[in-house]
Amino acid sequence: MKETRDFLEKLGLPGGDLYELPLSDKRFSDGGQYRLEVPGIQTPKVMSALLEEIDKYGLFIHRVTQTKGIWTLLDEEIKEMADIAKEWGVELVLAIGPRATTDTSASVNTPEGVRMGYRLRGQEQIVRAIEEVKRAAGLGCRSFLVYDEGCLWALNEFRKAGEIPTDCRFKVSAHTGHGNPASAKLLESIGADSINPVRDIQLQMLAAMRKAINIPIDVHTENPASTGGFIRHYEVPDMIRVASPIYLKTGGSVAKTHSWETSVDDAKKRAKQIALVNRVIKEYYKEAVVSEKGSVN
Protein backbone atom coordinates (compact mmCIF):
# COMPACT_ATOMS: atom_id res chain seq x y z
CA MET A 1 0.00 0.00 0.00
CA LYS A 2 3.01 2.32 0.27
CA GLU A 3 2.78 3.61 -3.30
CA THR A 4 -0.90 4.41 -2.85
CA ARG A 5 -0.23 6.21 0.43
CA ASP A 6 2.67 8.16 -1.10
CA PHE A 7 0.58 9.36 -4.03
CA LEU A 8 -2.28 10.38 -1.75
CA GLU A 9 0.20 12.53 0.14
CA LYS A 10 1.29 14.15 -3.13
CA LEU A 11 -2.37 15.07 -3.63
CA GLY A 12 -2.38 16.91 -0.31
CA LEU A 13 -4.11 14.12 1.60
CA PRO A 14 -2.78 12.06 4.51
CA GLY A 15 -1.57 8.59 3.69
CA GLY A 16 -3.97 7.10 6.21
CA ASP A 17 -5.88 7.86 9.39
CA LEU A 18 -3.68 9.67 11.91
CA TYR A 19 -3.60 7.39 14.93
CA GLU A 20 -0.89 9.54 16.53
CA LEU A 21 -3.53 12.30 16.89
CA PRO A 22 -1.28 15.25 15.99
CA LEU A 23 -2.10 18.65 17.49
CA SER A 24 -3.77 20.97 14.98
CA ASP A 25 -2.13 24.37 14.67
CA LYS A 26 -4.98 25.75 12.55
CA ARG A 27 -7.27 28.37 14.05
CA PHE A 28 -10.32 30.54 13.43
CA SER A 29 -9.56 34.04 12.15
CA ASP A 30 -9.75 35.43 15.70
CA GLY A 31 -7.25 32.85 17.00
CA GLY A 32 -9.84 30.59 18.61
CA GLN A 33 -9.63 26.81 18.51
CA TYR A 34 -13.29 26.07 19.05
CA ARG A 35 -16.78 27.51 18.89
CA LEU A 36 -20.08 26.21 20.25
CA GLU A 37 -23.16 25.43 18.17
CA VAL A 38 -26.67 24.28 19.06
CA PRO A 39 -28.54 22.57 16.20
CA GLY A 40 -32.24 21.85 15.79
CA ILE A 41 -33.62 25.20 16.97
CA GLN A 42 -36.67 25.63 14.78
CA THR A 43 -38.51 28.83 15.81
CA PRO A 44 -37.84 32.35 17.12
CA LYS A 45 -39.47 31.62 20.49
CA VAL A 46 -37.27 28.59 21.09
CA MET A 47 -34.17 30.44 19.87
CA SER A 48 -34.74 33.22 22.41
CA ALA A 49 -35.33 30.70 25.19
CA LEU A 50 -32.10 28.89 24.36
CA LEU A 51 -29.93 32.01 24.36
CA GLU A 52 -31.50 33.39 27.54
CA GLU A 53 -30.94 30.08 29.35
CA ILE A 54 -27.32 29.82 28.20
CA ASP A 55 -26.76 33.36 29.46
CA LYS A 56 -28.00 32.28 32.91
CA TYR A 57 -25.08 29.83 33.02
CA GLY A 58 -22.71 32.70 32.30
CA LEU A 59 -21.87 31.17 28.91
CA PHE A 60 -22.37 32.02 25.25
CA ILE A 61 -22.53 30.19 21.95
CA HIS A 62 -21.49 31.15 18.43
CA ARG A 63 -23.99 29.45 16.15
CA VAL A 64 -27.63 28.33 16.10
CA THR A 65 -28.85 25.99 13.35
CA GLN A 66 -32.43 25.53 12.21
CA THR A 67 -32.86 22.11 10.60
CA LYS A 68 -36.48 21.75 9.46
CA GLY A 69 -36.00 24.03 6.45
CA ILE A 70 -36.48 27.63 5.32
CA TRP A 71 -39.76 26.64 3.69
CA THR A 72 -41.29 25.92 7.13
CA LEU A 73 -40.79 29.53 8.28
CA LEU A 74 -42.86 32.63 7.56
CA ASP A 75 -41.02 35.75 6.39
CA GLU A 76 -41.75 37.32 9.76
CA GLU A 77 -40.19 34.35 11.56
CA ILE A 78 -37.02 34.49 9.46
CA LYS A 79 -36.69 38.22 10.14
CA GLU A 80 -37.24 37.68 13.85
CA MET A 81 -34.62 34.92 14.03
CA ALA A 82 -32.14 37.11 12.13
CA ASP A 83 -32.83 39.96 14.57
CA ILE A 84 -32.35 37.65 17.57
CA ALA A 85 -29.06 36.44 16.10
CA LYS A 86 -27.86 40.01 15.70
CA GLU A 87 -28.93 40.95 19.24
CA TRP A 88 -27.12 38.00 20.82
CA GLY A 89 -24.10 37.98 18.51
CA VAL A 90 -24.64 34.49 17.10
CA GLU A 91 -24.54 33.10 13.58
CA LEU A 92 -27.94 31.85 12.37
CA VAL A 93 -27.84 28.91 9.95
CA LEU A 94 -31.04 28.04 8.08
CA ALA A 95 -31.51 24.67 6.40
CA ILE A 96 -32.20 24.34 2.69
CA GLY A 97 -34.91 21.72 3.01
CA PRO A 98 -34.50 18.87 3.88
CA ARG A 99 -35.94 18.66 0.40
CA ALA A 100 -37.15 15.10 0.79
CA THR A 101 -40.20 16.39 2.64
CA THR A 102 -41.28 18.51 -0.35
CA ASP A 103 -40.31 16.08 -3.11
CA THR A 104 -42.73 13.57 -4.62
CA SER A 105 -40.15 10.78 -4.35
CA ALA A 106 -40.97 8.06 -1.86
CA SER A 107 -37.63 6.28 -2.23
CA VAL A 108 -35.94 8.27 0.52
CA ASN A 109 -38.33 6.65 3.02
CA THR A 110 -37.42 3.10 2.00
CA PRO A 111 -34.66 0.96 3.61
CA GLU A 112 -32.46 1.38 0.52
CA GLY A 113 -33.43 4.97 -0.22
CA VAL A 114 -32.36 6.32 3.16
CA ARG A 115 -28.76 5.81 2.07
CA MET A 116 -28.99 8.77 -0.30
CA GLY A 117 -29.73 11.16 2.56
CA TYR A 118 -31.43 14.42 1.62
CA ARG A 119 -29.85 14.86 -1.82
CA LEU A 120 -31.93 16.63 -4.41
CA ARG A 121 -33.83 14.86 -7.19
CA GLY A 122 -34.22 16.75 -10.46
CA GLN A 123 -33.14 20.23 -11.54
CA GLU A 124 -36.38 21.77 -10.28
CA GLN A 125 -35.24 20.93 -6.76
CA ILE A 126 -31.97 22.81 -7.39
CA VAL A 127 -33.98 25.81 -8.57
CA ARG A 128 -36.20 25.68 -5.49
CA ALA A 129 -33.24 25.34 -3.14
CA ILE A 130 -31.55 28.41 -4.65
CA GLU A 131 -34.83 30.31 -4.42
CA GLU A 132 -34.94 29.48 -0.70
CA VAL A 133 -31.47 30.92 -0.23
CA LYS A 134 -32.42 34.07 -2.15
CA ARG A 135 -35.54 34.49 -0.03
CA ALA A 136 -33.78 34.04 3.31
CA ALA A 137 -30.82 36.19 2.26
CA GLY A 138 -33.25 38.97 1.38
CA LEU A 139 -34.65 38.71 4.92
CA GLY A 140 -31.27 39.03 6.59
CA CYS A 141 -29.86 35.50 6.85
CA ARG A 142 -26.40 34.76 5.46
CA SER A 143 -25.61 31.18 6.56
CA PHE A 144 -27.17 28.05 5.11
CA LEU A 145 -27.14 24.31 5.79
CA VAL A 146 -26.62 22.35 2.56
CA TYR A 147 -27.56 18.69 2.00
CA ASP A 148 -26.48 18.18 -1.61
CA GLU A 149 -23.01 18.53 -3.17
CA GLY A 150 -24.33 19.65 -6.55
CA CYS A 151 -26.46 22.31 -4.89
CA LEU A 152 -23.38 23.47 -2.98
CA TRP A 153 -21.42 23.84 -6.22
CA ALA A 154 -24.26 25.79 -7.85
CA LEU A 155 -24.71 28.07 -4.84
CA ASN A 156 -20.99 28.79 -4.81
CA GLU A 157 -21.14 29.79 -8.48
CA PHE A 158 -24.12 32.07 -7.72
CA ARG A 159 -22.14 33.57 -4.84
CA LYS A 160 -19.05 34.17 -6.97
CA ALA A 161 -21.16 35.86 -9.65
CA GLY A 162 -22.97 38.08 -7.12
CA GLU A 163 -26.34 36.46 -7.89
CA ILE A 164 -26.68 35.91 -4.15
CA PRO A 165 -24.85 37.99 -1.50
CA THR A 166 -21.12 37.35 -1.62
CA ASP A 167 -20.98 37.07 2.18
CA CYS A 168 -23.27 34.02 2.23
CA ARG A 169 -21.76 31.00 3.98
CA PHE A 170 -22.48 27.32 3.34
CA LYS A 171 -22.28 24.59 5.95
CA VAL A 172 -22.41 20.96 4.72
CA SER A 173 -24.73 18.72 6.75
CA ALA A 174 -23.77 15.44 8.39
CA HIS A 175 -26.68 13.96 6.41
CA THR A 176 -24.58 14.03 3.24
CA GLY A 177 -22.65 11.19 4.86
CA HIS A 178 -19.04 12.34 4.39
CA GLY A 179 -16.31 11.02 6.66
CA ASN A 180 -12.93 11.03 4.92
CA PRO A 181 -10.26 13.58 3.92
CA ALA A 182 -10.79 13.19 0.16
CA SER A 183 -14.50 14.02 0.47
CA ALA A 184 -13.72 16.94 2.75
CA LYS A 185 -11.17 18.32 0.29
CA LEU A 186 -13.70 18.06 -2.53
CA LEU A 187 -16.38 19.89 -0.53
CA GLU A 188 -13.94 22.64 0.39
CA SER A 189 -12.99 23.05 -3.28
CA ILE A 190 -16.61 23.56 -4.40
CA GLY A 191 -17.51 26.19 -1.82
CA ALA A 192 -18.07 24.68 1.63
CA ASP A 193 -17.31 27.10 4.47
CA SER A 194 -17.57 24.36 7.10
CA ILE A 195 -18.17 20.61 7.00
CA ASN A 196 -20.10 18.36 9.38
CA PRO A 197 -18.76 14.81 8.97
CA VAL A 198 -20.67 11.69 9.98
CA ARG A 199 -21.56 11.71 13.66
CA ASP A 200 -19.55 8.63 14.64
CA ILE A 201 -16.28 9.76 13.06
CA GLN A 202 -13.35 8.63 15.23
CA LEU A 203 -10.54 10.86 16.43
CA GLN A 204 -7.88 9.43 14.12
CA MET A 205 -10.22 9.97 11.16
CA LEU A 206 -10.99 13.49 12.31
CA ALA A 207 -7.28 14.26 12.57
CA ALA A 208 -6.75 13.03 9.01
CA MET A 209 -9.61 15.19 7.75
CA ARG A 210 -8.15 18.23 9.50
CA LYS A 211 -4.78 17.69 7.80
CA ALA A 212 -6.46 17.80 4.38
CA ILE A 213 -8.54 20.99 4.75
CA ASN A 214 -8.39 24.45 6.28
CA ILE A 215 -12.08 25.29 6.80
CA PRO A 216 -13.80 24.57 10.15
CA ILE A 217 -15.09 21.09 10.93
CA ASP A 218 -18.43 20.77 12.74
CA VAL A 219 -18.59 17.76 15.08
CA HIS A 220 -21.50 16.39 17.11
CA THR A 221 -20.63 16.04 20.78
CA GLU A 222 -23.92 14.17 21.21
CA ASN A 223 -26.72 12.86 19.04
CA PRO A 224 -30.49 12.38 18.82
CA ALA A 225 -31.87 8.91 19.47
CA SER A 226 -32.56 8.53 15.74
CA THR A 227 -28.83 8.73 14.96
CA GLY A 228 -27.56 6.58 17.81
CA GLY A 229 -28.13 8.75 20.85
CA PHE A 230 -24.48 8.51 21.87
CA ILE A 231 -22.78 11.26 23.88
CA ARG A 232 -19.10 12.09 23.33
CA HIS A 233 -18.44 14.80 25.94
CA TYR A 234 -15.23 13.23 27.24
CA GLU A 235 -13.80 13.17 23.72
CA VAL A 236 -14.33 16.92 23.29
CA PRO A 237 -10.88 18.00 24.56
CA ASP A 238 -9.21 15.70 22.02
CA MET A 239 -11.62 16.84 19.30
CA ILE A 240 -10.39 20.39 19.88
CA ARG A 241 -6.74 19.36 19.97
CA VAL A 242 -6.75 17.42 16.70
CA ALA A 243 -9.42 19.23 14.66
CA SER A 244 -9.30 22.96 15.42
CA PRO A 245 -10.83 25.15 14.14
CA ILE A 246 -13.91 23.20 15.21
CA TYR A 247 -17.58 23.84 15.92
CA LEU A 248 -18.81 21.67 18.81
CA LYS A 249 -22.44 20.78 18.07
CA THR A 250 -24.12 20.24 21.41
CA GLY A 251 -27.61 19.52 22.72
CA GLY A 252 -28.75 17.00 20.13
CA SER A 253 -29.35 14.22 22.66
CA VAL A 254 -32.37 16.15 23.93
CA ALA A 255 -34.19 15.43 20.65
CA LYS A 256 -35.57 12.14 19.37
CA THR A 257 -34.91 12.99 15.72
CA HIS A 258 -32.86 15.39 13.61
CA SER A 259 -35.84 17.62 12.77
CA TRP A 260 -37.46 17.47 16.19
CA GLU A 261 -39.96 20.28 16.78
CA THR A 262 -37.99 21.83 19.63
CA SER A 263 -39.91 23.26 22.58
CA VAL A 264 -38.88 25.93 25.06
CA ASP A 265 -38.25 23.17 27.59
CA ASP A 266 -36.02 21.37 25.06
CA ALA A 267 -34.07 24.59 24.54
CA LYS A 268 -33.39 24.89 28.26
CA LYS A 269 -32.20 21.27 28.35
CA ARG A 270 -29.86 21.98 25.42
CA ALA A 271 -28.43 24.96 27.29
CA LYS A 272 -27.57 22.60 30.16
CA GLN A 273 -25.73 20.34 27.71
CA ILE A 274 -23.60 23.34 26.68
CA ALA A 275 -22.71 23.85 30.35
CA LEU A 276 -21.77 20.17 30.68
CA VAL A 277 -19.48 20.32 27.63
CA ASN A 278 -17.92 23.51 28.95
CA ARG A 279 -17.18 21.73 32.24
CA VAL A 280 -15.30 18.95 30.48
CA ILE A 281 -13.23 21.46 28.48
CA LYS A 282 -12.31 23.45 31.59
CA GLU A 283 -11.43 20.28 33.49
CA TYR A 284 -9.35 18.50 30.85
CA TYR A 285 -8.15 21.16 28.40
CA LYS A 286 -8.32 24.45 30.28
CA GLU A 287 -5.82 26.09 27.95
CA ALA A 288 -8.09 25.60 24.93
CA VAL A 289 -8.94 28.94 23.30
CA VAL A 290 -12.61 29.67 22.59
CA SER A 291 -13.50 32.21 19.89
CA GLU A 292 -14.77 35.56 21.06
CA LYS A 293 -18.49 36.14 21.41
CA GLY A 294 -19.96 37.31 18.13
CA SER A 295 -17.28 35.66 15.97
CA VAL A 296 -18.56 34.45 12.61
CA ASN A 297 -15.72 34.44 10.08
**How do the domains of the chain map onto residue ranges?**
19-103+116-284
CA 203 to chain centre: 18
The pLDDT score that the predictor gives to residue 101 is 46
What is the pTM for the complete model shown?
Answer: 0.93
Q: What is the pLDDT of residues 91-118, one digit of tens each?
A: 999 999 655 445 555 566 666 666 666 7
68-72, 95-99, 121-125, 202-206: least confident range: 95-99
Q: What is the pLDDT of residues 170-193, one digit of tens each?
A: 999 998 999 999 999 999 999 999
Confidence of residue 253 (pLDDT cuts 50, 70, 90): confident
Instruction: Give me the torsion for CA of 18, 249, 117, 260, rounded to 10°.
Output: 160
At the fourth CATH level, the homologous superfamily of domain 19-103+116-284 is: Aldolase class I (3.20.20.70)
179-183, 193-197, 224-228: least confident range: 224-228
The pLDDT score that the predictor gives to residue 224 is 82
The pLDDT score that the predictor gives to residue 100 is 44
The pLDDT score that the predictor gives to residue 175 is 87
